[in-house]
């Protein structure tokens, strides 16, 4: 057993990016292509209401709905919220209002940004119009934002009964998909057990943790014994040498990895560990690696973990010595 | 002893134990399993059951919060999931994990269930993370954050004359004052309303961001009585969802809450306690209206989500807090509510009752 690792918590930036490519159905395709052409389309529900932005299924009856209509690029704010500190990726970089806007001819409201000088310039019921983005690609961001449109005071909603005109939804070169970019930034902190493991690695030692109930030594430790459901607490230094329990031969070069193929990737039970970890085997032709081979870690200058494992030259381990760890 | 007054289901199922962590702004020194495990041990100890004696285990969490793929498989280490146990997971608040566990017990496939959920929001920016749950075509590209969407709802309520800023501040103040007796709460006592976050919502109208864990044990029939002196019988439970388009909804009302409450038998008899999952002060206004709660009902005596809102756990905590009041005899009939999605899009309602002498 070794002394407990220093208590300071490790932290590192963690970036998760997931640019989903999504296909559009006929209704969303028409709507987003329409935005590219400065046309706003809605869809008629079974009971004749006009939904903007349009959906493919009736929100009440779940019926498929496909009757498109063209609505105006002007409308009325139904509710709003003043955003003094815009966050990354939001439509405007200067303070703005989020607004739900019922476009003239629509029965439902669309969410977007409203560019206004300040909260005193915004109210529910105010008239606004679409400000189109200079470059449009067929996305909701083709609407750059809304802007006040008060010079035609509170009036020209279309006459009741007229209703918006039908639209066939057909455009040249229709948009059929979008790429939904997303990036989230985190600060990763690995917790007590893994912090101790990583700190020991920086001293070229491998430290696992023993379960106080079943005495199995977990390497790397995650803080709990999955068999007993209790915290692993006792730190145990294992290795440095170990035994190859099983392996595979890699024949395909990995992207951004400067290792000649073929090479061997193996499960290695470090001496004293209750389960195998994995690592690359070097210093021996790939076709001579075998179960039971005794190996030791090879560290490179400044490496935070062993670069690979090489044979120790000891006789192979007995199968019985590692069969429970395969 | 008599059973629950109304039994609308095949089996009588009760919450027999509840435990939660202290809810904290950060828990950097703990991995998720290290955060979850003490709460699991505490809730099991309250029943005397060992992990291996639990019939079904169900958890709720979201990988997006901490940015760690399949993090829930790691927290299973804290249950003792080897050899394999009967287990499931929802990428939702633990209240929905409880619903799944309750269904499992109704089918007769289990007599007991361990339900837990956790959220570790501190590694990321939860306001931005939550934008990723929105419709990817029309909403997510605009990155409208959770406070902004709640603020749109609050303004709609103010415009409709249903509330005003002083009334919202009073809800916030009452919640944090009530949390004074809740040792697990993150915000307790007097908390300034502060500046606008997104107008009309001020800092005080918004929930704290933090990390936390909750767990309950469910048991059926006589077993529940053996495990708990006064089980909190789930006499009704239901959940409903509304359209995802915010512009399609009346943001001043919550018809899904009302429908779920009807199906859970909530309106059949009065309740003395309501634990409402209203992360924003304005959402309590909506929920009180949907449920028709009068002044005789103790609303969020725990302090509610305005005092501690660990994502994915705050809904389960509402059920746990309501049950705990029944366990200790402070309530005979309580309603617990959990929500998910923007502006109370999806809602779960559970009615809990204690045996009467
Ligand atoms: Zn163990």
Percent of chain A with pLDDT over 90: 79
Reply yes or no on whether the pLDDT at B12 is more than 60: yes
What is the CA A277 to chain-centroid distance, rounded?
A: 27
- Alpha helices (H) along A145-299: 192-201
pTM reported for the whole predicted model: 0.93
pLDDT in tens, A262-290: 999 999 999 999 999 999 999 999 999 99
> What is the pLDDT confidence band of residue A151, given thresholds at 50, 70 and 90?
low
Q: What is the mean pLDDT of residues B214-219?
A: 98
> What is the pLDDT confidence band of residue B77, given thresholds at 50, 70 and 90?
confident
Residues of chain A with C-beta less than 8 angstroms from the C-beta of B40:
229
In angstroms, the CA B336 to CA B277 distance is 8
| Mean of per-residue pLDDT scores for chain B | 95
Residues 214-243 of A with CB under 8 A from B: 222-231
pLDDT in tens, B252-299: 999 999 999 999 999 999 999 999 999 999 999 999 999 999 999 999
Count the Cβ atoms, other than its own, within 10 Å of residue B162: 17
Interface check for B194 against chain A (CB to CB < 8 A): the answer is no
Q: Are A230 and B28 an interchain contact pair (Cβ–Cβ within 8 Å)? A: no
> What is the pLDDT confidence band of residue A160, given thresholds at 50, 70 and 90?
low
Quote the tokens at residue B331. Answer: 């309530």
Using CB atoms, which residue from A16, A113, A227 is nearest to B80?
Answer: A227
Q: Are A230 and B37 an interchain contact pair (Cβ–Cβ within 8 Å)? A: yes
Among the listed residues B39, B17, B15, the one whose alpha carbon sits nearest the alpha carbon of residue B211 = B39
Quote the tokens at residue B34. Answer: 């290290």
State phi, psi for B126 to the nearest 5 degrees: -65, -30
Strand, helix or coil at A322?
helix
Reply yes or no on whether the pLDDT at A34 is more than 80: yes
- Distant-in-sequence, close-in-space partners of A46: CB < 8 Å, separation ≥ 6: A58, A60, A61, A63, A65
Do residues B233 and B14 make contact, with C-beta atoms less than 8 angstroms apart? Answer: yes
Reply yes or no on whether the pLDDT at A256 is more than 80: no
In angstroms, the CA B133 to CA B212 distance is 21
Reply yes or no on whether the pLDDT at B101 is more than 80: yes
Looking from the CA of A270 toward its CB, the CA atoms found within 13 Å total 21
Percent of chain A with pLDDT over 70: 94
Q: What is the mean pLDDT of residues B66-84?
A: 86
Q: Are B152 and A81 an interchain contact pair (Cβ–Cβ within 8 Å)? A: yes
Q: What is the mean pLDDT of residues B62-70?
A: 89
In angstroms, the CA B338 to CA B319 distance is 8
Among the listed residues B134, B129, B118, the one whose alpha carbon sits nearest the alpha carbon of residue B312 = B118
Q: Are A81 and B154 an interchain contact pair (Cβ–Cβ within 8 Å)? A: yes
Interface check for B272 against chain A (CB to CB < 8 A): the answer is no
State phi, psi for B188 to the nearest 5 degrees: -135, 145
Per the model's pLDDT, the better-predicted residue between B52 and B105 turns out to be B105
Separation in Å, CA B16 to CA A17, B36, B302, B334: 42, 19, 18, 15
Percent of chain B with pLDDT over 90: 90
Reply yes or no on whether the pLDDT at A2 is more than 50: no
| Closest Cα in chain A, distance from residue B157 (Å) | 9
Quote the tokens at residue A224. Answer: 């709990």
> What is the pLDDT confidence band of residue B161, given thresholds at 50, 70 and 90?
very high
Residues 201-260 of B with CB under 8 A from A: 201, 243, 245-248, 251
Quote the tokens at residue B120. Answer: 């570790």
Whole-number pLDDT of residue A155: 52
Q: What is the mean pLDDT of residues A91-103?
A: 98
| Mean of per-residue pLDDT scores for chain A | 91
pLDDT in tens, A105-136: 999 999 999 999 999 999 999 999 999 999 99
CA-only gyration radius of chain B, Å: 19
Do residues A29 and A174 make contact, with C-beta atoms less than 8 angstroms apart? Answer: yes
Whole-number pLDDT of residue A1: 40
């Amino acid at each position: 057993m070794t002394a407990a690792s220093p208590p300071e918590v490790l932290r590192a930036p963690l970036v998760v990016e997931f640019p989903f490519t999504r296909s559009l159905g006929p209704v969303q395709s028409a709507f987003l292509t329409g935005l590219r052409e400065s046309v706003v389309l809605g869809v008629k529900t079974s009971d004749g209401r006009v939904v903007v932005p349009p959906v493919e299924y009736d929100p009440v009856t779940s019926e498929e709905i496909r009757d498109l209509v063209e609505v105006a690029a002007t409308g009325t704010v139904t509710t709003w919220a003043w955003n003094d500190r815009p966050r990354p990726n939001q439509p405007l970089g200067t303070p703005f209002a989020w607004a739900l806007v019922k476009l003239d001819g629509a029965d439902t409201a669309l969410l977007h940004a409203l560019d206004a000088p300040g909260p005193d310039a915004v109210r529910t019921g105010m008239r606004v119009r679409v400000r189109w983005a200079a470059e449009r690609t067929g996305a909701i961001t083709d609407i750059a934002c809304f802007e006040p449109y008060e010079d035609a005071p509170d009036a020209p909603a279309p006459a009741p009964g007229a209703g918006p005109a039908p639209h066939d939804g057909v455009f040249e070169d229709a948009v059929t998909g979008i790429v939904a970019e997303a990036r989230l930034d985190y600060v990763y902190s690995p917790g007590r057990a893994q912090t101790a493991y990583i700190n020991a690695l920086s001293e070229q030692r491998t430290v696992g943790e023993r379960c106080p109930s079943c005495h199995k030594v977990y390497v790397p430790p995650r803080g709990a014994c999955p068999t007993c459901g209790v915290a692993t607490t006792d730190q145990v230094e294992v290795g440095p040498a170990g035994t190859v329990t099983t392996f595979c031969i890699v024949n395909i070069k990995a992207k951004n990895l400067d290792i000649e193929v073929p090479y061997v990737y193996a499960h290695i039970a470090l001496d004293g560990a209750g389960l195998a970890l994995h690592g690359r085997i070097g210093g021996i032709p790939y076709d001579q690696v075998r179960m039971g081979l005794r190996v030791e870690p090879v560290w490179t200058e400044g490496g935070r973990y062993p670069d690979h494992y090489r044979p120790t030259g000891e006789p192979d381990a007995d199968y019985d010595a590692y069969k429970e760890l395969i | 002893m008599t059973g629950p007054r109304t039994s609308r289901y095949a089996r009588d199922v009760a919450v027999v134990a509840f435990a939660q962590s202290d809810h904290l702004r950060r828990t950097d020194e703990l991995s998720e399993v290290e955060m979850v495990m003490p709460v699991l041990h505490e809730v099991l100890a309250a029943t005397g059951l060992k992990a291996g004696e639990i019939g079904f285990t169900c958890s709720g969490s979201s990988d997006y919060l901490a940015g760690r793929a399949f993090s829930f498989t790691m927290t299973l280490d804290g249950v003792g999931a080897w050899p394999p146990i009967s287990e499931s997971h929802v990428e939702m608040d633990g209240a929905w994990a409880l619903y799944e566990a309750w269904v499992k017990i109704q089918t007769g496939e289990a007599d007991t269930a361990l339900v837990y959920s956790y959220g570790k929001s501190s590694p990321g920016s939860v306001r931005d993370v939550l934008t990723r749950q929105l419709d990817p075509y029309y909403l997510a590209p605009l990155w409208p954050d959770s406070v902004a969407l709640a603020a749109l709802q609050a303004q709609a309520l103010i415009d409709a004359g249903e509330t005003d800023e002083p009334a919202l501040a009073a809800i916030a103040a009452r919640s944090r004052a009530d949390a004074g007796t809740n040792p697990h709460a993150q915000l307790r006592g007097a908390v300034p309303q502060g500046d606008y976050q997104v107008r009309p919502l001020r800092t005080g109208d918004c929930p704290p961001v933090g990390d936390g864990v909750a767990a309950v044990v469910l048991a059926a029939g006589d077993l529940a009585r053996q495990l708990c002196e006064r089980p909190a019988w789930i006499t009704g439970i239901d959940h409903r969802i509304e359209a995802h388009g915010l512009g399609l909804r009346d943001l001043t009302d919550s018809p899904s809450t009302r429908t779920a409450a009807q199906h859970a038998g909530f309106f059949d008899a009065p309740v003395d306690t309501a634990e409402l999952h209203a992360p924003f002060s304005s959402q309590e206004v909506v929920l009180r209206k949907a449920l028709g709660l009068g002044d005789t009902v103790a609303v969020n005596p725990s302090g509610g989500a305005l005092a501690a809102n660990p994502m994915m756990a705050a809904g389960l905590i509402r059920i746990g807090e309501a049950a705990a009041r029944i366990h200790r005899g402070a309530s005979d009939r309580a309603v617990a509510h959990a929500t998910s999605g923007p502006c109370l899009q999806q809602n779960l309602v559970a009615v809990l009752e204690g045996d009467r002498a």
